Amino acid sequence: MAKKIIWTQKAQAERKEILEYWKNRNKSTVFSIKLNKLFIEHLRKIALHPNTGRNTDIKNVKVKIIRDYLLFYEVIEDEIIVLCIWDGRRDPDKLHVK
């Protein structure tokens, strides 16, 4: 059975920022729409198979690589909590998952 997906405010803001960046950079929404669909598609798979992501140093938190982005999520009982979407090309010292 698929787990329920819950987005944190932080993750929602990061996703919006990423999609806005590509919209402004490309002067088009085509890539942003494709990237958002990719995020959603991967989350649907994670909801069905939560252990597909790699373990992190934080208990119950996993990471899934989606193109150049790292999607951090926490598995809690029947929920997947999306904690963060991080551009893997950014400075890792600025990454704060929780």
For the stretch 83-92, pLDDT in tens is 999 887 765 5
Residue 86: the pLDDT is 87
Query: Going edge to edge, which strands form the sheet with 69-76?
Result: 4-7, 79-87, 69-76, 61-66, 54-55
Instruction: Say yes or no to pLDDT of 95 above 60.
Output: no
Collapsing DSSP states into helix, strand and coil, what is residue 22?
Answer: helix
| CA atoms of 75 and 62, how far apart (whole Å) | 8
Give pLDDT tens digits for 12-47.
999 999 999 999 999 999 999 999 999 999 999 999
Q: Which residue in 66, 40, 57, 49 sits closest to 95, CA to CA? A: 57
User: How sure is the predictor about 98, in pLDDT bands with cuts at 50, 70 and 90?
Assistant: low
- Identify the burial level of 82 via C-beta atoms within 10 angstroms of its C-beta, where 0-12 means exposed, 13-18 middle and 19 or more buried: buried
Share of the chain above pLDDT 90, in %: 79
pLDDT averaged over every residue in the chain = 91
Pair type for strands 69-76 and 79-87: antiparallel
Tell me the pTM: 0.86
